[in-house]
Structure 1
Amino acid sequence: MDFSIKLLVSEAIRTVVNHADWIGWNLFLAFIPLVLSVFLFRRTPIVKTAIEYRHRSLFWWLGVAVFVAFLPNAPYILTDIIHFVNWVRAGASIWVVTLIYVPLFVVFLTAGFEAYVMSLMNAGYYLKQRGLRHYVFPMELTLHALSAIGIFLGRFLRFNSWNILTHWNDVAASLVGDVFDRQPMITIVITFIILTLLYALVKPLHFAMSHYWKYRPQPERSQFVIPNS
């Protein structure tokens, strides 16, 4: 048993070391929109009038554009499940798959999608605080659709978020010539449906947890009093 545990620990270390580069990089990209959403939508002062709302600074709008460009990187992590399939097909033992690969990918995929959910919820919070609650659902659907397109561009055409600036002509050509073909559109629509359903399942859990922590019963303070000597 000791020898088996040593083998599992050794395999776990080897797996993390050999794949830390792309796992860490993808997580870094996934958390960029989350960090941006905090600064753009949570720390932005609440405007009082429609005129103030329309006169957001150019820097703020550039931040929103960067947020939208990097947002697909968060749910993109879900597509990294293909690495899990490849590892299993490589002939790993059931113990390695169960005790190493599965926990690693559960944490990895959950972290990426959580970053996506929290990013959209922060954007929704911004709209609600400004009396634009009725725009929250259309905003979510729009970002699901854009993220589905971004995931396709990243996974199948191997574009990155910054290629919108560095290779904008190639991205535009791919959007016109590749994305709107029948097969890519089917893939994008399926991705959109998956993102929408997963988000619809996870978002209420966030609200439930937030409500619990906000209104959870506080422990009673001790009534013990030290008597005067």
Structure 2
Amino acid sequence: MEFSRTMGSQLFHWLVHAWDVFLFRMPLISWNLFLGLIPLALSYWLFKGSPRRTLLWGIVLLVFIAFLPNAPYVLTDVIHLVRDIRYHSSIWLISLVLLPQYFLFILIGVEAYVISIINLGDYLRRIGWRRYILPAELLIHALSAVGIYLGRFKRFNSWDLVTNLDAVTNTVLDDLLRKWPVLVIAVTFVILTSIYWLMKQVTLGVFERFHSNYSADSSWPEEF
């Protein structure tokens, strides 16, 4: 009986500690995830509905492009995971709390990025610009790579494009003349392009399977 009480007490304290660890990163994770989901929501308004291409549509498109790097930016938060793993020695805490938390967080952010661009591609296809899909994807990956670099290393935010445009512009022009920033941006571009291509196939495969199971719904879009 005493052994059971001791085990129960240890389990309770472990669960409390695990909950504290889980909550410790939640504000940062929730904020970054919120920023990453903004372009996903905008992509449905821009590309899946039927809004006319007015001045408002163009402004929202610029906001979409400005916020889009926030979605794959979650990949860089793996540095927090590495720090947390070094700080916590419990293999159970790492396996059951930290890794699932970060994995789900990163997966949602990356998937938001992938679906946002898929929606753009579907829009270009519907208006007869199919040949521009690949160039548009590559351009977005390049802009997102620059955005991730500015966010992670220069600590700029998306709204700095409005509130602090001069500093952002000067930083980009200055850093593009130096080897290290260009290398970081190039590597980020390759990683983004590779992950996007892989996740795009998986995402379209999943939704194609879902579509085949509910083929009676004639309103389902051609690709996603």
Q: What's the TM-score once normalised by structure 2's chain length?
A: 0.89
Q: Which amino acid aligns with 1:176?
A: L
Aligned to 2:66: 69
> Alignment partner for residue 42 of structure 1, among 45, 48, 55?
48
137-146 or 10-19: which moved more?
A: 10-19
The higher radius of gyration belongs to 1
Aligned to 1:227: none
Q: How does 1:18-37 map to 2 (within 5 A)?
A: 18-37=24-43
CA RMSD after TM alignment = 1.6
Report how far residue 131 of structure 1 moved. 1.4
Residue 191 (str. 1) matches residue 197 (str. 2): no
SS in 2 for 1:108: helix
Report how far residue 40 of structure 1 moved. 0.4
209-218 or 163-172: which moved more?
A: 209-218
Q: Which amino acid aligns with 1:153?
A: L
Q: Which amino acid aligns with 1:33?
A: P
> Alignment partner for residue 116 of structure 1, among 100, 113, 118?
113
SS in 2 for 1:92: coil
Aligned to 1:154: 151
- Going from structure 1 to structure 2, the CA distance change for 1:4 and 1:204 (only over 3 Å counts) comes to farther
Report how far residue 17 of structure 1 moved. 2.3
Residue 12 (str. 1) matches residue 24 (str. 2): no
State the distance in 1 between where 2:8 and 2:101 align: 22
Report how far residue 132 of structure 1 moved. 1.1
CA deviations 1:113-145 (Å, max 9, x no partner) are 011001101111110111111111111100000
SS in 2 for 1:71: helix
Report how far residue 209 of structure 1 moved. 1.0
Residue 132 (str. 1) matches residue 129 (str. 2): yes
Report how far residue 3 of structure 1 moved. 4.1
State the distance in 1 between where 2:108 and 2:78 align: 13
State the distance in 1 between where 2:210 and 2:192 align: 27
Report how far residue 6 of structure 1 moved. 2.5
Report how far residue 16 of structure 1 moved. 2.8
State the distance in 2 between where 1:36 and 1:163 align: 19
Number of aligned residue pairs? 209
SS in 2 for 1:206: helix
Report how far residue 178 of structure 1 moved. 1.9
Q: How does 1:215-226 map to 2 (within 5 A)?
A: 215-216=212-213
Does structure 1 conserve the Cα–Cα contact (< 8 Å) formed by 2:175 and 2:182?
Answer: no
208-217 or 159-168: which moved more?
A: 208-217
Aligned to 2:83: 86
Residue 182 (str. 1) matches residue 174 (str. 2): no
Which segments of structure 1 move beyond 6 Å, counting only runs of 4 or more? none
Identity %: 42
